[in-house]
Amino acid sequence: MGLLLKSSLWLGAVVGFVFGLIYPASVLLFKCIIILIFTLIGAMVVVYLKKNAFVGLLTIQDGAFIGGISGFSAAFAAMLVNIPFNLSLFFSLVPKSNNFTDSVSDLGVSILIILMFMTFIAALSALFNTFSGLVAAYCYEKTENPQVEPENDILIDD
């Protein structure tokens, strides 16, 4: 379970880092596509782990777990990459103060607000990715382990 946790955490963080670099430079339509991708990172990580044989038998609970962990780490990593962009946007919108202590106070409050926002969005991403990882694991479970239908004939030995 430790290897599964570690690999899903790192894969999600790498994907989130890549999407975090792409996100600020994109136009509005592309941002909608990236938001859609953030809801499917869990399924992508489950498919990647399964295709490269990092996991053997994958249950629905494992898929949900992988999806949630990778979704949280991907969203958090993407927003961590965007902190300088977010801070510059915040300071361009907030009126400038002549007092240095007010500026430092604004910086501390803005970092606190950004961290709370990052945690909330990462938890929301984890929720959506839990479901997408669950669906991917369910599809793998149904395709790899087909249910054997019982025969209608009843054989009674005397």
Domain boundaries, the chain: 2-144
Tell me: pLDDT of 118 over 70: yes
In contact, 15 and 74? CB cutoff 8 Å: yes
What single letter denotes the amino acid at residue 38? F
Closest C-alpha to 113, from 92, 90, 96: 90
Q: Name the token pair of 36.
A: 């859609």
Who has greater pLDDT, 96 or 4? 4
d(CA 39, CA 35): 7
Q: What percent of the chain has pLDDT over 90?
A: 18
Who has greater pLDDT, 23 or 135? 135
Tell me: pLDDT of 49 over 70: yes
Q: Name the token pair of 26.
A: 């994109």
